[in-house]
Amino acid sequence: MISGLLSSALAEEASTTKLEAWLARVEPDAASAGVHELAELVQEYLNGIPSALDGLVAMTKERPFGRSVAFAAGQVLLYLVDEEDLFSEREMGALGLLDDAFLIHGCLTALCATFPELSLPPGYAPPSGRAAAAVRTLLPAGVPEALDRTCENLVRVAATLYAPGGQRDPGPDPPRPTLRVGDALAILSSAPR
């Protein structure tokens, strides 16, 4: 549900037209054809956020690495919702999500590199090489490398904290809890109004 809402918001806010307008504000003298193509690539990159988040959630359920993935995913989510990160969405519109998207995609890459047994979940396709290169070049000098190191270090810490060797197999998944509608209705009928 959350990724669906995020997809809807991105469809509205990260349209090629809006991104193109933002990019043209930053570089007013750029050729419009080039800005349009760049906007399309940025849009592709940003539109991968919901499936990347879904991918992270799916990977948290993979044993024995789920806890490590969950730790890394939590940090990525905190960064995503932080309004005071590197770029402000309030000031830059959807372009403000570039650092967030870079971190999310980078974290998935770092997780798969650190835990080769993990695989990218179905439904997540990393950004094309062209889109990744465009965003990497668009970000200020040094930022992509800093975000790469952040992803690698985050996953390294997660792997150390939740090393699979020390975890025992917890057995089958416990039954899912159910809502107690009948009990709630019974209490309502016996409670004074």
Q: How far is CA 114 from CA 61, 68, 109, 124, 128, in A?
A: 17, 11, 9, 18, 21
Distance (Å, whole) CA 167 – CA 109: 24
pLDDT score at 167: 46
Q: What pLDDT is attached to residue 100?
A: 92
Q: pTM of the prediction?
A: 0.79
Q: Which residues of the chain have pLDDT under 50?
A: 166-168
Give per-residue pLDDT as tens, 147-181. 999 999 999 898 888 876 544 455 566 677 777 77
- Interatomic CA distance for residues 45 and 22, integer angstroms: 16
Task: Give the list of residues 6+ apart from residue 36 with CB closer than 8 angstroms, or none.
Answer: 16, 20
**Helices (H), ranges, 60-192:** 66-81, 89-92, 98-114, 129-138, 143-161, 181-190
pLDDT of amino acid 150: 93
pLDDT at position 11 is: 78
**Nearest Cα residue to 14 out of 113, 131, 184, 188:** 131
